Amino acid sequence: MRLLLDAGNTRVKLSWMSLSAQARAPVVAAFGYDEMAGLGAWVAALPERPLEVWAVGVVDSARMVQLEQLLSAASGAQTAAGLPVHWQHSQMYAAGVRSEYLPSHALGPDRWAGLLGVAWNERRLAGNSLAPVLLASFGTATTVDALLPSEAQAADEYVFPGGLILPGVQLMARSLAQGTARLPEEAGVTRNFPAQTRDAIATGVAAAQLGAVWRQWRRIEQSSSRAPARLYVTGGAWPALEAEALQWFEPAQIVWLASPALDGLACLARQKQEAGH
């Protein structure tokens, strides 16, 4: 068994896959950084002892070491070196996706793994007849990334031309509370014409988030010979945005993914195993 781990800004997500599997297990566990004991207990309760970990992270090296030590202890690693953890970095090409980001290593590894995971999920839905897709990740920060079918390369290859980064839902709301004298940081709901301050903030934030997504959707329509097929969404802030998203997109256009980054890690691990490394 191999563990799959995505160490984000506020939470760690985990899943697992057997060494012979083509995809990860459907379960996704998530733990805040103040819940590391729970993470260790989850790993210790797995049906098999993991032999390795494939991981991406936006955390610093000290946090990576902490996670490595925790995973080794929880898994009962038998060697002095502990449980092998393979931290992944962004590349120019992997798993049928070519990156045009400059420089390629500057792309966040979690974004790269997420794109690989979306490409894998889209191939499952569409086969080899690939259409452009968009991935919107609503976490601490929001990212909106496009995948376009390659015009010059193999028909089943995607190109990542770039994407957007903007403050996430909570960061937007918090900035209003901290940067103004009278605007509160309170939960509101989205409305067509908000008549209360908390709803005005919630609606404004949601409109900004979905406006960024819609901008990229329209850019795909304008620059590609094929219209976008699907909007893939992920991240903890999605429930706060879903109602607003349905004002912009048809329900059939939206596909929720619990963790495309973990799907991408599964692709990378499988690719390396198939290559005999």
Report whether 276 belongs to an annotated binding site. Answer: no
The answer to the question of whether 128 is labelled as a binding residue is no
SS3 3: strand
For residue 112, count CB atoms less than 10 angstroms from its CB and return exposed for 0-12, middle for 13-18, buried for 19 or more.
buried
Give the helix ranges, DSSP H, for 127-276: 169-179, 197-223, 238-245, 260-274
Please tell me whether 13 is known to bind a ligand: yes
Q: Tell whether 156 is in a known binding site.
A: no
Q: Among residues 34, 60, 110, 145, which one is catalytic?
A: 110
Active site residue 110: yes
Instruction: HSE, CB side, 13 Å, CA atoms: give it for residue 186.
Output: 9
**Residue 203 among known ligand-binding residues:** no
Q: Is 8 annotated as a binding residue?
A: yes
Is 110 annotated as contributing to ligand binding? yes
Residue 234, marked binder: no
Q: What is the DSSP string of 41-93?
A: HHHHTSSS---EEEEEE-S-HHHHHHHHHHHHHHHT--STT-S-EEE----SE
Binding-site positions for ATP read 6-13, 140
Residues contributing to the annotated binding site for substrate: 108-111, 197
The catalytic residue positions are 110
Binding residues: 6-13, 108-111, 140, 197
